[in-house]
Amino acid sequence: MTVTPLIPVRTMQFDAPGNDEFHPLYVAGNAQLSYQHSAIGLYVAHLEPFFVKSLRRVMDRISDPTLREAADRFCRQEAQHYQRHVDFNKVILAHGYPGLAERAERLKQEFDGFLASESDKFRIGYIEGFESYTTQLGLYLLRSGLYDHPRTHAAFGELFKWHMLEEIEHRHVAFEVYRHFHDDNAHRIRMCWFAQRHMFSFMRDCERLMSAVDIGRHGDRCRIRWKHRLVLQVVTSGMRAKAMLPWYTPHALRIPASIEALSTRFTERAVQVR
């Protein structure tokens, strides 16, 4: 096991845009990318509390002190993520999307059901299934320069840049916690498929709800183009397939040197680091 114990836990402060200055196409002026990011923000606001509660239930049974410390710091990072996203989600929801808040509430109920009725193995598998995808997504998005695009809203860009950085920083933890408890790679692969399908189902619903409203308010540029959807499907399908390979491990991912510099920048900007 090669988990790094000292994952930084940063308390960040981001200023969400006012309701009057918000435009839904805030990522590169692109409908597909913008609605996807809005859906991610809504998703993690309920996903990450589920992560924290699930890991806290098994924390005392992690016998390796290094891994237990890493898992604790993972939880603390995730708690910071959803708290910051809630502030930005309020701006998105205030833009007025019939059915969107209800869809997010249904998502919350689904996670509450997982906590109430599913096993620890299911829940830890879900976390690993999700993290095996988002680590790759974080690397892809940070390499792309998307968050520095001139048509990306600076506040949203910084929020997601920080979040994706920390997904990369804690990339080993869920994988190692799962392996600590379970020698069952077939179950891990099934949970990759389940968790990622669950996320993408929610995202598609959000994209459809938001785009339909915004076409009437902001024009046809809010329509999700088939070519943009196709490109995204190709990219994400590759990441999902890689996560489900029997020999997948986050330890094999190549981490560019730029990640260390970005980590330092956010550490210096943080209100507090633990």
pLDDT tens by residue, 65-114: 999 999 999 999 999 999 999 999 999 999 999 999 999 999 999 999 99
Q: Would you place residue 5 in the very low, low, confident or very high pLDDT band (cuts 50, 70, 90)?
A: very low
Q: How far apart are CA 266 and CA 268, in angstroms?
A: 5
Which residue, among 16, 21, 30, has the nearest Cα to 84 in the 3D structure? 16
Residue 258 falls in which region: left (phi positive, over 0), alpha (psi -120 to 50) or beta: alpha
Q: How far apart are CA 115 and CA 97, in angstroms?
A: 28
What is the SS3 assignment for 219?
coil
Tell me what the pLDDT averaged over the chain comes to: 96
Locus of tokens 């692969």: 189
Q: How far apart are CA 160 and CA 185, in angstroms?
A: 31
Element (H, E) at 178: helix 173-181
Q: How far apart are CA 222 and CA 260, in angstroms?
A: 36
Contacts of 11 (CB under 8 A, 6+ apart): 80, 270, 271, 272, 273, 274
25-44: pLDDT as tens digits:
999 999 999 999 999 999 99
**Residues composing the chain:** 274
Tell whether the model's pLDDT for residue 145 goes beyond 90. yes
Cα→Cα distances 226→146, 230, 233, Å:
20, 6, 10
Cβ neighbour number for residue 227 with a 10 Å cutoff: 9
**C-alpha atoms less than 13 angstroms from C-alpha of 149 in its C-beta half-sphere:** 21
Which residue, among 70, 8, 74, has the nearest Cα to 272 in the 3D structure? 8
Which residue, among 259, 248, 272, 253, has the nearest Cα to 193 in the 3D structure? 248
Locus of tokens 């196709």: 230
Which residue, among 1, 7, 12, 8, has the nearest Cα to 270 in the 3D structure? 12
110-135: pLDDT as tens digits:
999 999 999 999 999 999 999 999 99
Compute the radius of gyration of the chain from its Cα atoms: 18
